Amino acid sequence: MSTRQTTHVIQTIRDEIHKVVVGHEALVEGMIVALLSGGHLLVEGVPGVAKTTAVKALADVLGFDFKRVQFTPDLLPADITGSEVLDMQSGAFSLKHGPVFTHLLLADEINRAGAKVQSALLEAMAERQVTIGETTHPLPQPFMVLATANPLDQEGTYALPEASLDRFMLKLHVGYNTPEEEFEIVMRVAQKGFETLTQIVDADTFRQLQEAVHAVHIDDALTRYLLQIVGATRDPAAFGMAELSEAIVFGASPRGSIDLFKASKAQARLEGRDFVTPADIARSAYGVLRHRIVLHYTAVAKGLTPDTVIQTLLQTLPIP
């Protein structure tokens, strides 16, 4: 598939999703980047801003299976993965598939459940498989988890452990629509409702899109540049930012480097190019790194955020 053809298909996907999702371009873009890169997406934001609608629209446009799990404090791991059920007549066990056996899984309000339930997704997200009893079952391909989370200062939520956060390729913040966008939403619902979506991509075309992203060229100098960005989250003093040393408790893992590499290539393809630029890396850095930087509580009290740390890194490190 040529660069022009790839650009056309991706733009058609975006246009089709926007038939039911007004605004939220960053969310739509992030879903496509994560899916084409084989990653997972964590979305933090207020309720009612079309997060579920967006991922359902993505599934419809691509012809993928879609399932949703509402995370609650009483949810059990088997409610996600499934379980072995005893047939009383035959005396044999049969597998009852859980909702994780799908292409796109929406883990709604993932931080409403405890760590034991959250960890049920780790094997699925990292290895694309689920172990039930003594048997390991492969998941459908492609497989992507899109998880939503409430702000952690709300009552009844549990902070996701670092091991869970690190499995997500991107973390996005989604807020309210602009007044103009909300006016359009109200008028659509009140007058005619949202349009019916059409599947525009088959399995073969989707594989070609993934291959096109994989084929995007990234220069060795840019690879070293993105590794410097990730390295500076771990040891900012080594890159001339000693003032951040006491503020950062933990930086991004090697998985962060891999995800930034993949996301930058996908971002370049979304922009219609077959090569990565420093702008692609900078644009991808926020989504890839913001959930992988753990700040000291004193830095948080002073108003420092992972995004401001990333901004400082990008402004300080020399661009090749």
List pLDDT tens digits, range 106-123. 988 888 887 777 777 888
Tens digit of pLDDT for each residue in 28-53?
999 999 999 989 999 887 777 777 88
Amino acid at 121: L
Residue 207 resides in a domain: no
* Residues counted in the chain: 320
173 and 296 co-located in one domain: no
71 and 114 co-located in one domain: yes
Residue span of the structural domain in which 17 resides: 3-202
Q: What's the CA gap between 58 and 64, in Å, rounded?
A: 8
Residue 211 resides in a domain: no
- Between CA 177 and CA 228, with CA 167 as vertex, the angle to 5 degrees is 90
| Range of weakest confidence among 9-18, 179-188, 234-243 | 179-188
pLDDT value at residue 282: 94
Tell which residue, 46, 40, 159, has the closest CA to residue 111.
159
CB atoms within 10 A of CB 265: 27
- Give backbone dihedrals phi and psi of 70, rounded to 5 degrees, phi first: -90, 110
- pTM for this structure? 0.88
Q: The CATH number of the domain where 253 resides is what?
A: 1.10.8.80
Residue 126 resides in a domain: yes
Residue 76 resides in a domain: yes
Q: What is the mean pLDDT of the chain?
A: 86
Q: What's the CA gap between 272 and 110, in Å, rounded?
A: 34
161 and 226 co-located in one domain: no
Residue 155 resides in a domain: yes
Amino acid at 298: T
Q: What's the CA gap between 57 and 16, in Å, rounded?
A: 8
Tell which residue, 1, 3, 2, has the closest CA to residue 271.
3
Average pLDDT over every residue of 263-271: 93
| Range of weakest confidence among 78-92, 168-182, 265-279 | 78-92
276 and 145 co-located in one domain: no
Q: What's the CA gap between 76 and 114, in Å, rounded?
A: 9
166 and 133 co-located in one domain: yes
- Between CA 162 and CA 234, with CA 281 as vertex, the angle to 5 degrees is 40
